[in-house]
Structure 1
Amino acid sequence: MPDFTITEKPRWSLDMCSQHSAVPRLYGQSEGTTRTVLGPAVAVAVLIGTQGAFAAESAQIQNKSGEASQEEIVLPVITVAGRMDTAITEGTDSYTTGETAAATRLSLSLEETPQAVTVITRQRMDDQQLNSVQSVLDNTTGVASYQSDSERTSFYSRGFLINNIQYDGIPTVVGDIVNGSGIGSVDTAFYDRVEVVRGGSGLLTGTGNPSAAINLVRKRPTRDFSAAASLGAGSWNTYRSMGDISTPLTEDGRIRTRLVGTYQDGHSYLDGYKPERKSFYGIIEADLTSDTMVSLGYDYQDITPQGSTWGGLPLWFSDGTQAEYSRSKNYAQDWSYWDNTLKTAFAEIEHRFDNGWKLRAVANQYRTDFDAELLGLVGQPDRATGLGFFPSGAYPVALASEGHSRQNTFDVMASGPFELLGRQHDLVVGATSSRRTASQDDIAPFYAGLVPVNVYELSPAFPRPDFDAMARIPTRTRIKQSGVYSAARFSLAEPLKLIVGGRFSNYEIDDVTGSSSLHYKKSSEFTPYAGLIYDIDKTYSAYVSYTGIFNPQTDYRDSRGNVLTPAKGKSTEIGLKGAYMDGRLNASVALFETRLDNAAQMAAGSYTPSGAQAYQGVDGTKSRGIELDLQGEVARGWNIYAGVAHFTAQDGDGVRLNSQLPRTTAQLFTTYQLPGDWRKLTLGGGVKWQSRFYKAPNTGTSSLGGEQSSYALVSLMGRYAITKQTGVAVNVNNAFDKKYALQKGDFDTVGYGAPRNVMVTLNYKY
């Protein structure tokens, strides 16, 4: 939060006609400078600070017709000191942010950050009803999702799996990233924004794929009382409620708290599937002094679906033709479930020094618990009867798994300006450590019966196997990481900035699966980072960046059950960025190339002792592409988000990498608040398009393959302000009811996306 001070004699304009604020806006303008808008809180401070300098007759300025107008008042010198956090998006009505530290821990504008960055703001999440992390990432440039079934969604960027997850900039592991459980179902009601930094992020995380880093930034308490609530109802008897209260606990607001809770329940377009999600978030902040703040918080997410699917329905008939199903078809039984519980406790202290430096220390504990009993169908049924005779036909396959994990993380960081050779520069230094223990017990997939299932009728129903009497394969994992990092932003010349940094990481893993064990340790692994930014003019900047890659692949196991050794490589990026309308609209274009050795790839037809897909390390993996991004306000009341991403990726043998991902994706969503008498109405809409994807025969989990052609999904929204505090919104997804596959060919099955659906939400804000 940069400090600001007004010391020169300004000419102030008092605007009593602000449509977006209950208090007047105060504009500061000195001779030869442009007009600067000060926020309402600062305006009030200035007004109070004049101690009556405003005459009573100027308190309410009206023209002869009685309507509000603007009038200039010359005041004496006024000094105003305060802090503005321009990164916060809540309450700004904006689709962009003023700054981010997600790439380097240095607080920079998007234009000053030498990497491709997308920020999904609170306003956009509310406009599109992006109530889960999956829905956010599904609407983010350069991110592709692969949804295996109702609970498992994996996210990719630039051809690589995203395994870098952060809360408020602190890395963590959420659920089972490889198998896609955990992060996608997390509710977004707790967050001010979601920041996605594409490319390598080893400077902050120490480890990870050169895909993207997802930073979930929590809401914070406000010094004044505020409250918000919403009730929503939609297709398939879906209901959602949310409550959000922030209040000072002392009269001066020095101690304050915020509580957020959500509940979502209902049915689904899938027969028998009933998702349910409960979540709670609480935080308390206290100003120990004017420069020192402490905060304590806890969040809890309980995800308890019934009728969870495992994979899709058989894609191929025994005669070699493809099957086609209604989107509602689901063989999961009423006893099928996949429960996930995510709990986080955190403590933070921050102190600001008079010289502009800041010291921040954070301690987090993440706990996860999951329990699953699942049933799926595999095989090739007879086209005429839907049945078949062994080995033909579709047969039920079951599995069960349960486990828990705990991760303790501590991070301390100092940042601030310094002078060298007559110029001011910025520096951040920090140290971090984490320890994660995980325990998992699996019943490997097994054929639950030898009676084929009729795929047309999806009968007969299958009773729950006696999982309690079956032997389980235990897995015990302990991972310790630590590191020191630093980054400096040097002002080489007025238009030229250099960011250099690096991280020394220590990594150790002990893993035991069944009768096999692994111990791996790596000390003082150095990950470099460099970025050069050139300000072409006040609007445009060009940049080039380089990031080293060190990715321990602890989520991937070979056919013996051993964890793969780390992948190493480098990522380079060049780009052009533009900031328009005083930073309210940001645009960027980026070209990138990534090279990676020992990258985990599926081993066709090979499985671990627990029955999971086996992987192998492959050298010479390469990915390159282009990304374009536009986010912000085109004109007053007109927000827009647009992006296009394309990449090509192949392994060392020239074979297409992760062919189950679309190579090209495009996003557009925009809203417009109508002017004049229609200003209570806001209309919006968007489209998502992606190119084809496929599973090649005899690769990974596919024997016959499958392909989904390119498709586009259209969404619409409308919002009406009933009063200043109350409004109603309508969201329509997949407006043209497009039928499309979420996955096609995984274990030779197919799963479909949701048909057209509607959500109506009543909102209240105080």
Structure 2
Amino acid sequence: MSIITAAGKFRWSIDARAEAAFHPHLDGASKGATWSPPRTVLGSAVAAAVLLAGQGAFAAESAQIQTRAAETSQEEVALPAITVMGRMEPATTEGTGSYTTGQTAAATHLPLSLRETPQSVTVITHQRMDDQQLNFVQGVLENTTGVSSYQSDSDRTSFYSRGFLINNVQYDGIPTEVGNIINGSGIGSIDTAFYDRVEVVRGGSGLLTGTGNPSAAINLVRKRPTREFSAAVSLGEGSWDTYRGMGDISTPLSEDGSIRARMVGTYQDGHSYIDGYKPKRKAFYGIVEGDLTPDTTVSLGYDYQDITPKGSTWGGMPLWFSDGTQAQYARSANYAQDWSHWDNTLKTAFAGIEHRFDNGWNLRGIANQYRTQYGAELLGLIGRPDRTTGLGTFPNGAYPVALAFDGRSRQNSVDVMASGPIELLGRRHDLVVGATSSRRTASQDAAPFSLGFTPVNVYDLSPAYPRPDFDAMAWVPTRTRIKQSGVYSAARFSLAAPLKLIVGGRFSNVEIDDAAGGTSLHYKKNGKFTPYAGLVYDIDKTSSAYASYTGIFNPQTDYRDSKGNVLTPSNGKTGEIGVKGAYLDGRLNASVAWFRTQLDNAAQMVAGTFTPAGAQAYQGADGTKSRGIELDLQGELARDWNIYAGIAHFTAQDGAGVRLNSQLPRTTAQLFTTWRLLGGWSKLSLGGGVKWQSRFYQAPNTGTSSLGGEQNSYALGSLMAQYAFTQKTSLAVNLNNLFDKKYALQKGDFDTVTYGAPRNVMVTLNYRY
């Protein structure tokens, strides 16, 4: 039996013969169990180690200490050898069985518990991703409090928080530019098999990311190699002939485990509820980690994701008939042809070094190279068909429109950071200082729209539309180069025993060169200061109150005005107050937060206006405001009973008082829970959940909509069951959209409609060694 401590400092390995003496109700199938010492005399050495250990989660590392109980009596327990293994990793969630984490550094780079962090933070753990089969980042974000998705078509999804687009993505804390305005946020299709957890910090994140919107920052934290051999394999089969395989092997490369490696591979293929759409994904992740000394660790890794769907949709089906009534379609309706596709390849190479000093300070350096390559040939339908015939006579009717584009990007990033304790005025404080630099180059070539003049019958989706001769068209090039650098620092001062102050800031330099459609832009900003401040007061041993202020700015290179010029940067600031609680020795975290955000020079669509290259035109608007409340609950209610629940509500409007991003629901709520049964049914775990969101709409004659569209509020239910045949083998069944609710993912964008998936099931066989 292994017991993981809450402070994340030590691991206790205890012989099975003594297990009952320590915790008689534990068994081999327990998840995330914690341990309290028995009321016996353990011996001074063991007792001292217990006091130092605390409780929580970590990854075992270097030092080993062995001690043995020497005395026994009627009130004593004779103990076997106990091994205490050090180097704490209390943030790690893999293997804990938990729906929460011991700490996170996602907000400030200071390792803090959720209760000590003065911002709204949600951590989607490894266990929760497994339980809900959240195999891709899109599923993770759609099940996160305060995050809304906007799915325009089969392969383009953007994510929003607090009314603003999320464009801050980090890998192991390193900011990375992922995607652009054409392919949404670009992260929805990323496979989660590579990651220990996904951390979402809502609000401004300019301290660490430098640029972005005051929405949220997503941090994808990679799995690390383990000192002992472990392996996991899963095979899944689901609705629409969906097949998925995953293999995960971690192994020591040296006898003492000082050099170790891990490899993860996934493959998914099959069909979809959308006619003719065949998503296909394969991915690989490899990392080698070594200890140069007991206090110095280096790592080198690479990940690769290849996403090659066929029959990709572009937009949805025409929403309005020519007589002004709304059309209804089967959820499977799709006019995309066999030649339609939207391919994406993502590659990341990274290297890191970390040194741990005896005085508690850590020095870390990470270098990343992130490459993307994508190409698409897409086909959609626009117009207003005749209600009776499904066709129409020009200008009415539904007409095909095609588009092709190719692009690639490369981003090199370096981050160096030092953190540790300092002594001042008789108190211990914490400090982090760092510097970061990145250079991104991106190029894209797009063919002009190809419009067909033969109307399509929306009832039988005929006639077919042959592939246009894209190669013979005059492609429009876009070239972008972005250089960013910055220095940042944050300090956590202990003003009094219950009162902590976090202050910090970042000085950023940004330089942008952009050329598209015959226009060019050079933008440079040096010494842009981004502030951060947070105050945390411990009400008692379990609860705290906090207030924070964060700032951020965003170079808006994806948005152009009617002349083709890139918009100048936006500036955002967020004030937040809240109350947090950590219960059951930190195994359950709860929070409630109130926030207010203002964003100036925010990009807004100009209805019916386009750039010289034919893209949607935008303009900057001041006075955009968002305010709301968020409640979050994550962790364990009781032994083997995990829960995640959240409610978020916001209101947002532009400077003229018009509702901002009305295509997003203003209120979302979700609940998911699992429970491992007791006694003779202990091999069976059951779970279920529900997601609800309020209505959303596209207002007529705004943005990309002329007649608008509205989706009423709806709820989606889910169920899961898992049976453990042995400690190594289990079978899981996940059922989604339990009541087969028909709902729209978007309604009114370019006067089209796109539907969500009907009821579906996935069966997964898991083996872990």
Does residue 398 of the first structure (1) align with residue 398 of the second (2)?
A: no
Does residue 351 of the first structure (1) align with residue 355 of the second (2)?
A: yes
Instruction: Return the alpha-carbon distance in structure 2 between the equivalents of residues 397 and 79 of structure 1.
Output: 67
Could you say if the C-alpha distance between residues 349 and 21 of structure 1 is closer, same or farther in structure 2, counting changes exceeding 3 Å? Answer: farther
Provide the residue aligned with 1:502 in structure 2: 505
Alignment of 1:296-335 (within 5 A): 296-335=300-339
CA shift at 1:555, angstroms? 1.5
For residue 496 of structure 2, what is the amino acid of its counterpart? A
Does residue 292 of the first structure (1) align with residue 296 of the second (2)?
A: yes
Does residue 132 of the first structure (1) align with residue 136 of the second (2)?
A: yes
Instruction: Return the alpha-carbon distance in structure 1 between the equivalents of residues 534 and 274 of structure 2.
Output: 48
Instruction: Return the alpha-carbon distance in structure 2 between the equivalents of residues 219 and 670 of structure 1.
Output: 24
Provide the residue aligned with 1:277 in structure 2: 281
Could you say if the C-alpha distance between residues 41 and 480 of structure 1 is closer, same or farther in structure 2, counting changes exceeding 3 Å? Answer: closer
Cα deviations across residues 253-279 of structure 1 (Å, max 9, x unaligned)? 000000000000000000000000000
Cα deviations across residues 643-680 of structure 1 (Å, max 9, x unaligned)? 00000000000000000000000010000000111000
1:154/1:178 contact within 8 Å kept: no
Cα deviations across residues 528-582 of structure 1 (Å, max 9, x unaligned)? 0000000000010000000112111112111222211001131100000000000
- The equivalent position to 1:19 in structure 2, one of 16, 19, 27, is 27
Q: TM-score under structure 2 normalisation?
A: 0.94
Alignment of 1:42-441 (within 5 A): 49-50=66-67, 53=70, 72-73=76-77, 82-176=86-180, 179-180=183-184, 182-441=186-445
- What SS does structure 2 have at the residue aligned with 1:176? coil
Instruction: Return the alpha-carbon distance in structure 2 between the equivalents of residues 437 and 42 of structure 1.
Output: 40
CA shift at 1:174, angstroms? 1.4
Structure 2: unaligned runs, 5 residues or longer: 1-5, 12-17, 39-46
Cα deviations across residues 671-712 of structure 1 (Å, max 9, x unaligned)? 000011100000000000000000000111000000000000
Could you say if the C-alpha distance between residues 76 and 674 of structure 1 is closer, same or farther in structure 2, counting changes exceeding 3 Å? Answer: closer
1:381/1:387 contact within 8 Å kept: yes
Provide the residue aligned with 2:753 in structure 1: 750
Which deviates the most, 737-746 or 32-41?
32-41
Instruction: Return the alpha-carbon distance in structure 2 between the equivalents of residues 560 and 512 of structure 1.
Output: 13
Provide the residue aligned with 2:645 in structure 1: 642
Cα deviations across residues 395-445 of structure 1 (Å, max 9, x unaligned)? 000000001000000000000001000000000000000000000000122
Instruction: Return the alpha-carbon distance in structure 2 between the equivalents of residues 638 and 613 of structure 1.
Output: 49
Alignment of 1:593-742 (within 5 A): 593-742=596-745
Cα deviations across residues 336-363 of structure 1 (Å, max 9, x unaligned)? 0000000000000000000000000000
Which deviates the most, 22-31 or 163-172?
22-31
For residue 231 of structure 2, what is the amino acid of its counterpart? A
Instruction: Return the alpha-carbon distance in structure 1 between the equivalents of residues 668 and 220 of structure 2.
Output: 23
CA shift at 1:611, angstroms? 2.2
Provide the residue aligned with 1:511 in structure 2: 514
CA shift at 1:453, angstroms? 0.1
For residue 118 of structure 2, what is the amino acid of its counterpart? P
- What SS does structure 1 have at the residue aligned with 2:192? coil
1:314/1:323 contact within 8 Å kept: yes
**C-alpha RMSD of the superposition:** 2.6
Provide the residue aligned with 2:3 in structure 1: none
Count the aligned residue pairs: 747
Provide the residue aligned with 1:61 in structure 2: none
1:16/1:25 contact within 8 Å kept: no
CA shift at 1:610, angstroms? 2.6
Instruction: Return the alpha-carbon distance in structure 1 between the equivalents of residues 244 and 80 of structure 2.
Output: 53
For residue 521 of structure 1, what is the amino acid of its counterpart? K
For residue 297 of structure 2, what is the amino acid of its counterpart? M
Could you say if the C-alpha distance between residues 78 and 139 of structure 1 is closer, same or farther in structure 2, counting changes exceeding 3 Å? Answer: closer
Could you say if the C-alpha distance between residues 72 and 472 of structure 1 is closer, same or farther in structure 2, counting changes exceeding 3 Å? Answer: farther
CA shift at 1:175, angstroms? 2.0
Could you say if the C-alpha distance between residues 54 and 389 of structure 1 is closer, same or farther in structure 2, counting changes exceeding 3 Å? Answer: farther
1:15/1:25 contact within 8 Å kept: no
- What SS does structure 2 have at the residue aligned with 1:135? helix
For residue 573 of structure 1, what is the amino acid of its counterpart? E
For residue 756 of structure 2, what is the amino acid of its counterpart? G
Could you say if the C-alpha distance between residues 224 and 81 of structure 1 is closer, same or farther in structure 2, counting changes exceeding 3 Å? Answer: closer
Provide the residue aligned with 2:568 in structure 1: 565
Which deviates the most, 184-193 or 77-86?
77-86
Provide the residue aligned with 1:446 in structure 2: 450
Instruction: Return the alpha-carbon distance in structure 1 between the equivalents of residues 80 and 766 of structure 2.
Output: 44
1:169/1:215 contact within 8 Å kept: yes
Provide the residue aligned with 1:545 in structure 2: 548
Provide the residue aligned with 1:63 in structure 2: none
- The equivalent position to 1:479 in structure 2, one of 479, 482, 485, is 482
CA shift at 1:152, angstroms? 0.4
CA shift at 1:446, angstroms? 2.8
Does residue 533 of the first structure (1) align with residue 528 of the second (2)?
A: no
1:5/1:79 contact within 8 Å kept: no
Provide the residue aligned with 1:66 in structure 2: none
Structure 1: unaligned runs, 5 residues or longer: 59-69
1:506/1:522 contact within 8 Å kept: yes
2:347/2:370 contact within 8 Å kept: yes
Cα deviations across residues 461-505 of structure 1 (Å, max 9, x unaligned)? 111111111110000000000000000000000000000000000
- What SS does structure 2 have at the residue aligned with 1:297? strand
Instruction: Return the alpha-carbon distance in structure 2 between the equivalents of residues 277 and 191 of structure 1.
Output: 17
- What SS does structure 2 have at the residue aligned with 1:183? coil
Instruction: Return the alpha-carbon distance in structure 2 between the equivalents of residues 513 and 713 of structure 1.
Output: 43
Instruction: Return the alpha-carbon distance in structure 2 between the equivalents of residues 153 and 44 of structure 1.
Output: 43
Could you tell me the percent identity over the aligned residues?
77
Provide the residue aligned with 2:41 in structure 1: none
2:383/2:398 contact within 8 Å kept: yes
Could you say if the C-alpha distance between residues 38 and 16 of structure 1 is closer, same or farther in structure 2, counting changes exceeding 3 Å? Answer: farther
2:672/2:688 contact within 8 Å kept: yes
For residue 439 of structure 1, what is the amino acid of its counterpart? S
Instruction: Return the alpha-carbon distance in structure 1 between the equivalents of residues 537 and 62 of structure 2.
Output: 38
Provide the residue aligned with 1:62 in structure 2: none
Instruction: Return the alpha-carbon distance in structure 2 between the equivalents of residues 650 and 619 of structure 1.
Output: 11
Cα deviations across residues 81-135 of structure 1 (Å, max 9, x unaligned)? 7222110000000000000000000000000000000000000000000000000
CA shift at 1:80, angstroms? 5.3
1:704/1:745 contact within 8 Å kept: yes
Could you say if the C-alpha distance between residues 383 and 40 of structure 1 is closer, same or farther in structure 2, counting changes exceeding 3 Å? Answer: closer
- The equivalent position to 2:471 in structure 1, one of 468, 472, 480, is 468
CA shift at 1:328, angstroms? 0.6
Instruction: Return the alpha-carbon distance in structure 2 between the equivalents of residues 485 and 42 of structure 1.
Output: 31
For residue 214 of structure 2, what is the amino acid of its counterpart? P
Instruction: Return the alpha-carbon distance in structure 1 between the equivalents of residues 518 and 354 of structure 2.
Output: 47
Which deviates the most, 347-356 or 600-609?
600-609
